[in-house]
């Protein structure tokens, strides 16, 4: 089965962000044994909702394909996604799970798309998030957006909120707080088109966003001295 990754413009020389369009993969579940190690398959088997299973698997397929394209692995079963003590994902060599395949990575999924980001920069800390532009966020706006958030230009409110939600979710992944961090405490300031200053949990991050077929995708970047050096190629 062939998978076509969609590289995004928020990528650069050190960080790549890609999508996998799940609507174009008709039998994704059949590919699970090709991409998931034993422990990963056990985690996958615990997921009950069909949509959740599809999105979860799609994001991991996307990540492992990116690692293969970078030349870090030659087989998706030679690596596994595990979580560090803060709940952040790491892509490590399997079965030992001791050495990182890439310096840092992040996963997200929503609706049609699985999404992954990979950094090859030593000491980097990244977070990625994807959110559909839809009326759903209109009723949640007061829980995560405020007057200190600044986006350039005029845009539909649904699009504005999707961008802010994705940026704030991505920032929470960088600092390793996840749902424990209130998104309303995060401030986003667009300093140039698609480029943001994001302050989350007292930490200043650089952010980027792009739009793709009705979805907002955001990347946040910081540094983390606890991350190891860049793994060998």
Residue 164's beta-bridge partner residues?
Answer: none
Residue 199 has pLDDT above 60, yes or no: yes
CATH number for the domain harbouring residue 152: 3.90.470.20
pLDDT value of position 198: 97
Start-end of H helices in 151-203: 157-175
Residue 230 lies in a domain: no
Residue 232 lies in a domain: no
Handedness of CA 161, 164, 168, 170 (dihedral sign): positive
> 118 and 140 share a domain?
no
pLDDT value of position 226: 47
Per the structure, the complete domain to which residue 155 belongs is given by: 127-223
**Which candidate, 4, 14, 44, places its Cα nearest to that of 118?**
14
> 132 and 96 share a domain?
no
130-144, 172-186, 210-224: which has the minimum mean pLDDT? Answer: 172-186
Residue 229 lies in a domain: no
> 47 and 142 share a domain?
no
Cα separation, 207 vs 149, in Å, equals 13
Mean pLDDT across the chain: 91
Q: How many domains does the chain have?
A: 2
> 118 and 186 share a domain?
no
- Which of 82, 104, 122 is at the close of a domain? 122
Residues 6+ apart with CB under 8 A from 52: none
User: CB of 17 within 8 A of CB of 60?
Assistant: no
> 89 and 197 share a domain?
no
Task: Kindly report whether the peptide bond that precedes residue 95 is cis, defined as omega within 30 degrees of 0.
Answer: yes
- pLDDT tens digits, residue range 87-122? 889 999 998 888 999 999 999 999 999 999 999 988
Cα separation, 233 vs 104, in Å, equals 14
């Amino acid at each position: 089965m062939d998978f076509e990754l969609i590289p995004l413009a928020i990528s650069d020389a050190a960080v790549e962000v890609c999508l996998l369009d799940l609507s174009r993969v008709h039998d994704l579940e059949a590919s699970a044994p090709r991409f998931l190690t034993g422990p990963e398959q056990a985690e996958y088997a615990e997921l009950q909702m069909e949509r959740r299973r599809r999105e979860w698997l799609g994001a991991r397929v996307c990540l492992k394909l990116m690692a293969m394209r970078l030349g870090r692995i030659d087989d998706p079963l030679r690596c596994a996604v595990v979580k560090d003590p803060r709940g952040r994902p790491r892509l490590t060599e399997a079965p030992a799970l001791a050495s990182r395949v890439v310096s840092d990575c992040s996963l997200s999924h929503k609706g049609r798309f699985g999404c992954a980001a990979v950094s090859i920069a030593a000491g980097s800390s990244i977070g990625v998030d994807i959110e559909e532009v839809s009326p759903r966020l209109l009723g949640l706006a007061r829980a995560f957006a405020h007057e200190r958030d600044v986006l350039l230009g005029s845009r539909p409110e649904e699009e504005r909120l999707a961008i802010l939600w994705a940026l704030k979710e991505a920032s929470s992944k960088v600092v390793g707080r996840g749902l424990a961090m209130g998104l309303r405490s995060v401030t986003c300031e667009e300093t140039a088109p698609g480029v943001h200053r994001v302050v989350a949990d007292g930490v200043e991050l650089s952010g980027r966003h792009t739009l793709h077929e009705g979805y907002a995708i955001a990347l946040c970047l910081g540094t983390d001295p606890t991350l190891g050096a860049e793994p060998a190629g």
